Amino acid sequence: MATHTITNQAPPRVDVDEFALDAPLVAAVRRHGATWAEPELAATGRLVGSAGFQRDAELANTHEPVLTAFDRWGRRIDEVEYHPSYHRVIGAAVAAGAHTAAWAAPRPGAQVARAAQFLLFAQVEPGHACPVSMTHAVVPALQQFAPADLRELWIPRLLSRDYSPDLSPGKTSALFGMAMTEKQGGSDVRANSTAAVPAGDGSWILTGHKWFCSAPMSDGFLVLAQAPGGLSCFLVPRVLPDGSRNPFLIQRLKDKLGNRANASSEVEFDGTAGWLVGDEGRGVRTIIEMVNQTRLDCMLGTAAGMRQATAEAIWHAQHRAAFGARLVEQPAMTEVLADLAIETEAAITASLRVAAADEADADATDEPFRRLATAVLKYWICKRGPGHAYEALECLGGNGYTEAFPLARRYREQPVMAVWEGSGNVIALDVLRAIAREPETADAFLAEVRLAVGADARFDAHVDDAVRLLHDVQRDPASAEAQAGARRLTESLAVALQGSLLLRHAPATVADAFVATRIGPVRGFLYGGVPTGAAAAIVARHAGE
């Protein structure tokens, strides 16, 4: 029928190489010494850009995990069933080393290569990235704090590229999760009431309730509990050494706004066995290494979402016409697309710089830089994600608001990165604590920022303002005034770092547009509010042209 002839609709954006098309990601991989990983990253780019992988991403989110607490005979099994598409997605990510490749084969650029792998997979299906991230993050925590027998038992399994969804004895691979927060305390983990007592055989017995336990089908978890000596960290396996199931009573799966492919749960511990990791009473110090690694992945995950949103918006605008021209050629739309691309490039460039600071051969100043930059950028990039996703969604018009297109799912996904691993105020106050307790972090951060001083007068003025804010806080970081201004300081530092990196490493058109729209005297509150002067060139860069 003539009324069903389809015209002026974009074709599916499938069977593309998501790595090759992502110019900022390719540039960062090369800049930070991971050129050797490009063949593997290109293979991942083609995989996640394929129609089949994108279909699996959709199915994993529309067929959500289901809890089976009991088997048919009434025995407690506490298993979560996922759609086969989810297992294909996470199995591919593990096979590519998006979880622990940097620890399994350390070499120059290994952390950056792993971050790029993680970003590519998370760009298309973000739910599976949660257990992948936690598995990456637990390795340095165990290496630093676990006794030798636990390291020997778990680390080879964590480094494996095999994937098995079953909770079976004798598995040669493992994924990890964590369980910190409780309903009475949330981020205030020192209010936890889960108790741990020695069992007398080297293990501990845990009793309590965890309000959030993500990816409950993981093989092991780091858990915070109150021991006689104070809040401590424990490794809790799902399967005990004798092959029996550890009591791990999943009360319910959370009904979340987004992140639907990944199960998050409430868990009851009732005579649950755990093994102490780190010193008794130093649980926060022990688990914070894992938390900091996952905070980097929150940044990478948000940047991945920005890349997906930008790419889909540009694709639609390239193929849709209105008022006599393609949308991408309409000046108002071109400015919006360029602004979305600038935000994406800033997020990817900054996230990969922090990943590079974690390399084994990184400069000595990179370690204090990473400690502060992780908190600063986790706050800023993740906060920018939801608004970015909405603006990109709107570029598709009514199509963007439907679940048939991926940007509705992305819009629901982006807020979680700002909530998990420390919401806004928690992170901003962490920035104050880092500056107060470890002033060398501020020195290293500012040294990195100042590498671009002299390139742009507008940027220089912003750096001067950020330094004044920092020095004001340093005089009394614990004061009410400092805490009230923590968000402003964090934002100022984040924009300074992103501006510095783009001025040094991005094309001049991108750097100038970032400074004009984020730092200059005429700034808009919404995307596309300030003409950049080079919008078409920026859009072409992010279209892969």
Are the beta carbons of 219 and 237 closer than 8 angstroms?
A: yes
- Where do you find CATH 1.20.140.10 in the chain? 286-543
pLDDT at 531: 83
CATH superfamily of 286-543: Butyryl-CoA Dehydrogenase, subunit A, domain 3 (1.20.140.10)
pLDDT digits (tens, 9 = 90+) for 54-84: 999 999 999 999 999 999 999 999 999 999 9
CA separation for the pair 209, 226 (Å, rounded): 12
Give phi and psi for 93, each to the nearest 5: -65, -45
Is residue 432's pLDDT more than 70? yes
Mean pLDDT within 272-278: 98
Is residue 1's pLDDT more than 70? no
CA angle 65, 66, 71 (to 5 degrees): 140
Are the beta carbons of 198 and 234 closer than 8 angstroms?
A: no
Is residue 495's pLDDT more than 90? yes
Is residue 521's pLDDT more than 90? no
Name residues whose C-beta falls within 8 Å of residue 479's C-beta, 6 or more positions apart in sequence: none
Mean pLDDT within 142-162: 97
Only one residue has tokens 């007592």, namely 197
pLDDT at 525: 87
Bridge partner residues of 376 (DSSP): none
pLDDT at 532: 83
pLDDT at 137: 97
Residue 48 DSSP code:
H
pLDDT at 43: 98
- Where do you find CATH 2.40.110.20 in the chain? 176-281
Q: How far is CA 211 from CA 48, 161, 181, 193, 455, in A?
A: 33, 30, 6, 12, 49
Mean pLDDT within 380-385: 98
CA separation for the pair 67, 253 (Å, rounded): 7
206 burial class (0-12, 13-18, 19+ CB within 10 angstroms)? buried
Cα dihedral angle (334, 339, 343, 349), rounded to 10 degrees? 60
460 burial class (0-12, 13-18, 19+ CB within 10 angstroms)? middle
Tell which residue, 156, 138, 277, has the closest CA to residue 218.
Answer: 138
CA separation for the pair 216, 212 (Å, rounded): 10
Q: What average pLDDT does the structure give for the chain?
A: 96
CA separation for the pair 114, 351 (Å, rounded): 12
pLDDT digits (tens, 9 = 90+) for 22-48: 999 999 999 999 999 999 999 999 999
Mean pLDDT within 383-397: 98
Max CA separation in the chain (angstroms): 79
pLDDT digits (tens, 9 = 90+) for 287-333: 998 999 999 999 999 999 999 999 999 999 999 999 999 999 999 99
DSSP 319-384: H-EETTEEGGGSHHHHHHHHHHHHHHHHHHHHHHHHHHTTSTT--TTHHHHHHHHHHHHHHHHHHH
pLDDT at 524: 81
pLDDT digits (tens, 9 = 90+) for 85-115: 999 999 999 999 999 999 999 999 999 999 9
CA angle 159, 134, 449 (to 5 degrees): 105
Tell which residue, 238, 230, 231, has the closest CA to residue 213.
Answer: 238
pTM of the predicted structure, to 2 decimals:
0.97
Tell which residue, 11, 151, 163, has the closest CA to residue 91.
Answer: 163
Amino acid at 266: E
End-to-end CA distance of the chain: 37
72 burial class (0-12, 13-18, 19+ CB within 10 angstroms)? exposed
CA atoms within 13 A on the CB side of 242: 4
SS3 at position 81: strand
Is residue 2's pLDDT more than 80? no
Is residue 422's pLDDT more than 70? yes
CA separation for the pair 120, 115 (Å, rounded): 9
Give phi and psi for 188, each to the nearest 5: -85, 75
CA separation for the pair 410, 21 (Å, rounded): 20
pLDDT at 520: 79
Give the β-pairing of 204-214 and 264-277: antiparallel
CA separation for the pair 7, 319 (Å, rounded): 10
Q: Percentage of residues in the chain with pLDDT exceeding 70?
A: 100
Tell which residue, 214, 205, 212, has the closest CA to residue 182.
Answer: 212
Mean pLDDT within 402-420: 96
Bridge partner residues of 231 (DSSP): 226
Residue 534: pLDDT band with limits 50, 70, 90: very high
Given the candidates 2.40.40.20, 2.40.110.20, 2.40.30.10, 2.70.150.10, the CATH classification of the domain at 176-281 is 2.40.110.20
pLDDT digits (tens, 9 = 90+) for 323-369: 999 999 999 999 999 999 999 999 999 999 999 999 999 999 999 99
CA separation for the pair 516, 505 (Å, rounded): 17
